[in-house]
């Protein structure tokens, strides 16, 4: 028969051995990730020079007061309206076709440039000049676009029978 085990030898680590092993592991990790660590240290240095780290430290030290102020600001009715409006704006933009928006924005930008040009050149438009511009194909295209816009708005706001 086998002999009974009466004594278990525990493997004890020496504190200096553990420290040396930990330092060795850290050096291996630092060596392996040298590029990333140098980049991170550069970023931290720039944040420190810009004062961002001081701001963050101040926020952390005063986090309870800052949190109370933030909660009070969020509980104001105008903040609720602002958040609802932002959500509504995002929903509105998500329903629009990007190509159609691009066309309208391009036309609007061109119109603003022409309007500024007229102001810079101090153009004066008389009654007969207005009558002549109605025949201009560009003006007619713009009127057609505006008419379509107004008709579309009217369809949306007209009470349904």
Write out pLDDT tens, residues 28-49: 999 999 999 999 999 999 999 9
Q: Tally Cβ neighbours within 10 Å of residue 21.
A: 11
Q: Report residue 61's pLDDT band, with 50, 70 and 90 as the boundaries.
A: very high
Q: Which domain holds residue 54?
A: 36-95
**Same-domain check for residues 89 and 40:** yes
**Could you give the angle at which helices 52-61 and 34-50 cross, rounded to 10 degrees?**
80
Is residue 5 in some structural domain?
A: no
The most confident of 16-20, 92-96, 121-125, by mean pLDDT? 92-96
Mean pLDDT (the chain) is 90
Return the minimum-mean-pLDDT range out of 77-86, 95-104, 119-128, 131-140: 119-128
Q: Report residue 118's pLDDT band, with 50, 70 and 90 as the boundaries.
A: confident
Compute the distance between CA of residue 55 and CA of residue 28 in angstroms, rounded to an integer: 34
| C-alpha 122 chain-centroid distance | 40
Final residue in a domain of this structure, among 95, 121, 141: 95
Q: Tally Cβ neighbours within 10 Å of residue 145.
A: 13
Final residue in a domain of this structure, among 65, 95, 125: 95
Q: What is the pTM of this model?
A: 0.45
3 has pLDDT over 80: no
Mean pLDDT of the region 75-104 = 92
**Same-domain check for residues 105 and 88:** no
* pLDDT (0 to 100) of residue 123: 81
**Same-domain check for residues 56 and 45:** yes
**Same-domain check for residues 85 and 112:** no
Is residue 128 in some structural domain?
A: yes
Final residue in a domain of this structure, among 44, 75, 95: 95
Q: How many domains does the chain have?
A: 2
* pLDDT (0 to 100) of residue 5: 75
**Same-domain check for residues 90 and 120:** no
Give the CA distances from residue 41 to residues 30, 34, 35, 44, in Å, rounded to whole numbers and listed in that order. 12, 11, 10, 5
* pLDDT (0 to 100) of residue 122: 85
1 has pLDDT over 70: no
Is residue 12 in some structural domain?
A: no
Is residue 58 in some structural domain?
A: yes
């Amino acid at each position: 028969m086998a002999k009974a085990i009466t004594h278990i030898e525990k493997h004890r680590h020496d504190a200096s051995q553990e420290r040396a092993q930990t330092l060795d592991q850290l050096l291996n990790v630092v060596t392996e990730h040298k590029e990333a660590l140098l980049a991170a240290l550069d970023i931290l240095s720039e944040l420190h020079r810009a004062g961002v780290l001081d701001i963050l430290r101040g926020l952390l030290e005063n986090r309870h007061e800052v949190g109370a102020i933030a909660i009070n600001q969020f509980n104001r009715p105008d903040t609720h309206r602002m958040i609802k409006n932002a959500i509504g704006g995002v929903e509105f933009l998500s329903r629009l076709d990007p190509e159609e928006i691009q066309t309208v924005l391009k036309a609007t930008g061109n119109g603003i440039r022409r309007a500024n040009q007229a102001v810079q050149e101090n153009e004066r438009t008389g009654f007969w000049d207005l009558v002549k511009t109605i025949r201009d194909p560009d003006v007619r295209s713009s009127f057609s676009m505006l008419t379509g816009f107004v008709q579309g708005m009217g369809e949306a706001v007209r009470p349904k029978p």
